[in-house]
Amino acid sequence: MLRTVIIDDEPDCIIFLSQILKTYCPIVSISGTATSVQEGINEILRSDPDLVLLDVEMSPGTGFDILNKIPDRHFKVIFITAHNDYAIQAFHYSAVDYILKPVEVTELISAISKVGPAISRNPMIDFSILLDNLKSDIPQKLAIPTASGYEYVLVNEIIRLEADRSYCMFYMTGKRKILVSRCLNDYQQILDSRMFFRIHHSFLINLQHVKSFSRKDGGFVEMTDGSQVPLARRKKDYFNEVMKRFAL
């Protein structure tokens, strides 16, 4: 994992960056955050990160003050700021990248992919896939964390996802199953809503793999693998409308 510290005097920015990293960069582990120069110094010394996402103008002081206090740096730095006046100075500190706010997802992922040595500890990660997913109209592949690394699956081979508390089970074509230690909500945000439908609080289905709908037993949907997935009563009308448009 790429241990990462986020330092910004705007808490909302820290939350936003954390959400991007959690959703699109599973290799990144947020080891700490800070909102001031001194907090930033303390957090870096405490957590010994691989990467620091660093704001420039902070009150009081700057991100450069943090770096000056830690001359023996073993981490990479990506500056994230609303000001474009410090780019040359930033690269004097061997910054990996200099990103202007508001942050674009693809730009941040591209910057993280440049970190290099830290990422090379896990050669199974290919950030180009994540970038291709974001640039394409509908993502073609999804990186799923496993015990030994990551498995890259074709999105159209996902039949359905089932929630199990803080875990999630992927049911794939070929009767494959993959258990993931992330919640269903995370994948609902990642997967294209035109292709995947939250049919029930515990199920997210791929509309390409819907075989039939039955009103029996309160209503359920049969998938191409033969599974029968319950359809929440309040979603029946909406589901039928979505399927009408999807099947055109």
Please determine, for residue 45, whether its predicted confidence score (pLDDT) is greater than 60: yes
* pLDDT in the model for residue 120: 46
Angle among Cα 166, 122, 189 to the nearest 5 degrees reads 35
CB 45 within 8 A of CB 70: yes
* pLDDT in the model for residue 136: 56
In the predicted model, what is the mean pLDDT of residues 29-47? 95
Other beta carbons within 10 Å of 45: 10
Please write the tens of the pLDDT for every residue from 93-147. Answer: 888 889 998 888 888 888 888 885 444 444 444 556 655 655 555 557 888 877 6
Q: Are strands 150-154 and 141-145 parallel, antiparallel or unpaired?
A: antiparallel
Kindly report the backbone phi and psi dihedral angles of residue 158, in degrees, each rounded to the nearest multiple of 5, phi listed first.
-85, 120
Cα Rg of the chain, angstroms = 22
Whether this model's pTM surpasses 0.75: no
Q: Which conformational region is residue 183 in: left (phi greater than 0), alpha (psi within -120 to 50 degrees), or beta? A: beta
Q: How far apart are CA 50 and CA 77, in angstroms?
A: 9
* pLDDT in the model for residue 134: 56
* pLDDT in the model for residue 174: 95
In the predicted model, what is the mean pLDDT of residues 201-210? 94
Q: How many residues are there in the chain?
A: 248
Please determine, for residue 33, whether its predicted confidence score (pLDDT) is greater than 60: yes
| Higher pLDDT among residues 245 and 195, named by residue | 195
Q: Are strands 51-54 and 2-7 parallel, antiparallel or unpaired?
A: parallel
Please determine, for residue 215, whether its predicted confidence score (pLDDT) is greater than 60: yes
Q: Please report, rounded to a whole number, the percentage of residues in the chain having pLDDT higher than 90.
A: 44
Q: Provide CB contacts within 8 A for 136, sequence distance 6+.
A: none
| Higher pLDDT among residues 77 and 238, named by residue | 77
Helix (H, G, I), strand (E, B) or coil at 21: helix
Angle among Cα 58, 21, 82 to the nearest 5 degrees reads 30
Kindly report the backbone phi and psi dihedral angles of residue 11, in degrees, each rounded to the nearest multiple of 5, phi listed first.
-55, -35
Q: Peptide bond preceding 60: is omega within 30 degrees of 0, i.e. cis? A: yes
Residue 183 pLDDT grade (very low, low, confident, very high; cuts 50, 70, 90): confident
* pLDDT in the model for residue 92: 83
| Higher pLDDT among residues 209 and 247, named by residue | 209
Q: How far apart are CA 80 and CA 63, in angstroms?
A: 10
Q: How far apart are CA 135 and CA 233, in angstroms?
A: 36
Spatial CA neighbour of 210 closest among 247, 176, 182, 177: 247
* pLDDT in the model for residue 220: 94
Take residue 116 and report the two structure tokens written for it: 């290099």
* pLDDT in the model for residue 126: 55
The helix (run of H) or strand (run of E) holding residue 63 is helix 63-69
What does pLDDT average to over the chain?
A: 85
Q: How far apart are CA 60 and CA 80, in angstroms?
A: 17
Residue 25 pLDDT grade (very low, low, confident, very high; cuts 50, 70, 90): confident
* pLDDT in the model for residue 117: 46
Domains and CATH numbers, the chain: 2-125 (3.40.50.2300), 136-246 (2.40.50.1020)
In the predicted model, what is the mean pLDDT of residues 26-35? 91
